[in-house]
């Protein structure tokens, strides 16, 4: 059953599934207490609106009767009401925002934990229909989800309660309307203003919906076009050097203007549609001022109600209509809320799928053995094709193995499997207990921060003093950077590829891992520098076992063993 903007029961279930955790978490009493206070403040807000509505009656009657005493007493009542209203308005918003940020903090923490746990962030990319932009789900969608859910649910509560209260008021104020229907018969309509208000609001909201509906899609498209335009600008910044070498400015400029053209075209359509909507809504709002006055006027001139009653009726009519309009005004928000909930549900579903997957990779045991033992290891591609069959291998401290083979034969995938990252593998891997490992890829990951943080990433086993860092930098021919240890930079943009690879060797010298995995870790270096770095590893890390992947023939002389893969399952192991 579709209720509005694609909102149906399944959707509400998904939404509850995403939302409920916080209200049943370790923070549940705080969350529930705050929610109760906010709901109470919302109800108080409606109650004060009712009191204000009554106040208008009293005030205008005092004016009509030239009753100065009543006039001043009404002023006093107004001051008290206004004071309470201000306090309620301030705290209702403040506490709602407090609940929103607490809830978002809790959800963000949960999502980050699940995303980082069991390397889900990595395994997510390997499954089909993988989640696009998990970063956006965690930063943007969680913010929107908490915000929209609170805004819409509290808005709905307030609109419903306001509607009920003011319908009751209008009912009392309306009196009856007697309409002659010919032949001397008359029909008496009780609470006729209520029916007019409902009819007026329903017709108005339906027309607003008809005229404004295309705006939802147009606004959605606008965001997409703006994001595309921004993305193309970011790509120029990220690839500025290559584009400058190619002299690709004209081509880039054309692509910017194409994308910006879509932004402009869509904005014109929004403007046109907005203009039609404004014609309608402003006319509708003006008529809404007169309609209740016109309808109540006969009773006023017949002296059945006083001026206060007339004003009160008109205001109550406005409130009924406002609260009914809530549903249509929330229409675009509902559509966005649905999109956010769908995206988050998809993201959570994919994380659960990854965790429940039976493709868990090779079994890795820790044992009190002196060697890394690989037994009957099969490595496959996600589509089931076999890369490596029945590999058996043993490596001890100080050993060094070079993995070779044509491009695409599965060398990097073997390293992933040994590190426990690749889920499409079967077999046993035994690693010596309590030993550490470090992975040096072709392009080392350089986190944002100071050069010191970059060098020590992801954190050394022992505290490291500056002398040791300087020493490792000098050995890796990076002494030129010693003065910049505390400088914050985007280091992956500043340093050359060869320098970045030497940074990875500094890490290896500082961390002194028991196992060092290197995937083309010297590909950007000249051969003499490569020789220096491998010599350093032999001299300074004599007990570290090395497994390297590389194409260069020069690598043979730095390793004791060579494993060659053919990419369709076969392999051979040689002693060099
Ligand atoms: N995430 C993935 N999804 C699907 N296929 C993948 C994935 N990662 C790697 N592959 C495929 O696995 C095969 C082996 O890739 P791998 O990176 O291990 O090769 P390689 O021998 O290291 O190649 P190169 O020498 O070019 O670096 C390739 O055909 C590659 O396309």
Nearest CA to ligand 1 atom 1: 126
pLDDT for the residue 457: 83
Output the CA 212–ligand 1 centroid distance in Å: 50
Nearest CA to ligand 1 atom 20: 408
Confidence of residue 105 (pLDDT cuts 50, 70, 90): very high
107-125 CB burial, b ≥16 within 10 A, e <16: beeebeebbeeeebbebbe
Domain 363-575, CATH: 3.40.50.300
Q: With 90 as the cut, is the pLDDT of residue 59 above it? A: yes
Mean local confidence (pLDDT), 92-116: 96
Output the CA 412–ligand 1 centroid distance in Å: 7
pLDDT for the residue 6: 62
Q: With 90 as the cut, is the pLDDT of residue 253 above it? A: yes
Q: In this predicted model, what pLDDT tens digit does every residue of 352-365 receive, in sequence order?
A: 888 887 777 778 88
Atom of ligand 1 nearest to the CA of 549: 22
Which part of the chain has CATH 1.20.1560.10? 2-356
Nearest CA to ligand 1 atom 29: 408
CA torsion through residues 155, 161, 164, 167, sign: negative
Ligand 1 pocket at CB < 6 A: 126, 381-382, 405, 407-413
Output the CA 408–ligand 1 centroid distance in Å: 5
**2-356: what fold?**
ABC transporter transmembrane region fold (1.20.1560)
Confidence of residue 1 (pLDDT cuts 50, 70, 90): very low
Q: With 70 as the cut, is the pLDDT of residue 130 above it? A: no
Q: Distance between CA atoms of 394 and 80, rounded to whole angstroms?
A: 84
Output the CA 572–ligand 1 centroid distance in Å: 19
Mean pLDDT of the chain: 88
Q: In this predicted model, what pLDDT tens digit does every residue of 382-404 receive, in sequence order?
A: 888 999 999 998 888 888 899 99
Atom of ligand 1 nearest to the CA of 410: 18
450-468 CB burial, b ≥16 within 10 A, e <16: bbebbbbbeeeeeebeeee
Q: In this predicted model, what pLDDT tens digit does every residue of 524-557 receive, in sequence order?
A: 888 888 888 888 888 898 888 999 998 888 888 8
Nearest CA to ligand 1 atom 19: 408
Output the CA 387–ligand 1 centroid distance in Å: 9
Choose which residue among 381, 520, 568 to substitute to test ligand 1 binding: the one with the highest number of ligand atoms within 8 A of its C-beta: 381
Choose which residue among 410, 555, 570 to substitute to test ligand 1 binding: the one with the highest number of ligand atoms within 8 A of its C-beta: 410
Nearest CA to ligand 1 atom 5: 381
Output the CA 553–ligand 1 centroid distance in Å: 21
Output the CA 421–ligand 1 centroid distance in Å: 13
Element (H, E) at 269: helix 249-301
DSSP-based three-state secondary structure for 386 = strand
Nearest CA to ligand 1 atom 16: 410
Which part of the chain has CATH 3.40.50.300? 363-575
Q: In this predicted model, what pLDDT tens digit does every residue of 311-336 receive, in sequence order?
A: 999 999 889 888 887 876 777 788 78
Query: How many CA atoms lie within 13 Å of 554's alpha carbon, on the beta-carbon side?
Result: 14
Q: With 50 as the cut, is the pLDDT of residue 371 above it? A: yes
- Of the chain, the percentage scoring pLDDT greater than 70 comes to 97
Q: In this predicted model, what pLDDT tens digit does every residue of 13-35 receive, in sequence order?
A: 999 999 999 999 999 999 999 99
203: which 2 tokens? 């017709």
Q: With 80 as the cut, is the pLDDT of residue 180 above it? A: no
Atom of ligand 1 nearest to the CA of 382: 4
Q: Give the burial class of 498: count Cβ atoms within 10 A of its Cβ; 0-12 exposed, 13-18 middle, 19 or more buried.
A: middle
The owner of tokens 């799928």 is: 353
ipTM score here? 0.96
Nearest to 506 by CA among 543, 483, 547, 540: 540
């Amino acid at each position: 059953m579709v209720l509005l903007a694609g909102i149906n029961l399944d959707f509400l279930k998904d939404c509850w599934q995403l939302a409920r955790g916080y209200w049943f978490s370790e923070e549940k009493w705080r969350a529930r207490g705050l929610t109760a206070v906010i709901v109470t403040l919302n109800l108080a807000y409606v109650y004060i609106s009712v009191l204000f509505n009554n106040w208008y009656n009293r005030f205008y009657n005092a004016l009509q009767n030239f009753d100065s005493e009543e006039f001043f007493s009404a002023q006093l009542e107004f001051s008290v009401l206004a004071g309470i209203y201000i306090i309620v308005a301030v705290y209702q918003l403040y506490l709602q925002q407090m609940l929103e940020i607490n809830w978002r903090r809790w959800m963000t923490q949960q999502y980050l934990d699940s995303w980082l746990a069991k390397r889900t962030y990595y395994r997510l990319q390997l499954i089909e229909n993988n989640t696009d932009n998990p970063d956006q789900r965690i930063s943007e969608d969680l913010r929107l989800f908490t915000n929209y859910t609170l805004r819409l649910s509290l808005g709905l509560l307030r609109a419903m309660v306001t509607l009920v209260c003011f319908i009751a008021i209008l009912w009392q104020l309306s009196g009856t309307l007697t309409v002659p229907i010919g032949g001397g018969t008359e029909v008496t309509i009780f609470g006729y203003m209520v029916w007019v208000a409902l009819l007026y609001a329903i017709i108005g909201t339906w027309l607003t919906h008809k005229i404004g509906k295309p705006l939802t899609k147009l606004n959605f498209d606008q965001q997409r076009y703006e994001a595309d335009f921004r993305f193309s600008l970011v790509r120029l910044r990220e690839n500025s050097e290559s584009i400058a070498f190619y002299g690709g400015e004209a081509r880039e400029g054309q692509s910017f203007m194409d994308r910006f053209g879509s932004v402009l075209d869509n904005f014109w359509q929004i403007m046109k549609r907005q203009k039609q909507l404004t014609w309608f809504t402003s006319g509708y709002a003006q008529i809404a001022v007169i309609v209740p006055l016109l309808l109540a006027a006969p009773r006023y001139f017949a002296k059945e109600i006083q001026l206060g009653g007339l004003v009160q009726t008109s205001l109550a009519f406005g409130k009924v209509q406002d609260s009914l309009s809530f549903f249509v005004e929330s229409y675009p928000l509902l559509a966005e809320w649905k999109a956010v909930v769908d995206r988050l549900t998809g993201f959570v579903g994919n994380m659960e799928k990854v965790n429940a997957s039976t493709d868990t990779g090779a079994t890795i045991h820790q044992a009190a053995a002196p060697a890394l033992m690989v037994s009957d290891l099969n490595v496959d591609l996600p589509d089931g094709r076999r890369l490596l069959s029945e590999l058996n291998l043993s490596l001890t401290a100080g050993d060094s193995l070079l993995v070779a083979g044509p491009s695409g034969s599965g060398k990097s995938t073997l390293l992933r499997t040994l590190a426990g990252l690749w889920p499409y593998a079967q077999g046993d891997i035994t690693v010596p207990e309590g030993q550490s490992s470090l992975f040096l890829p072709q392009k080392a990951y350089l986190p944002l921060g100071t050069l010191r943080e970059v060098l020590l990433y992801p954190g050394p086993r022992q505290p490291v003093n500056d002398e040791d860092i300087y020493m490792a930098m000098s050995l890796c021919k990076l002494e030129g950077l010693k003065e910049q240890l505390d400088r914050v930079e985007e280091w992956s943009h500043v340093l050359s590829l060869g320098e970045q690879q030497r940074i990875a060797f500094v890490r290896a010298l500082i961390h002194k891992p028991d196992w060092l995995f290197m995937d083309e870790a010297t590909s950007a270096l000249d051969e003499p520098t490569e020789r220096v770095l491998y010599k350093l590893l032999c001299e300074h890390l004599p007990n570290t076992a090395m497994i390297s992947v590389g194409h260069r023939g020069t690598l043979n002389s730095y390793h004791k063993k060579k494993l060659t893969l053919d990419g369709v399952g076969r392999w051979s192991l040689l002693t060099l």
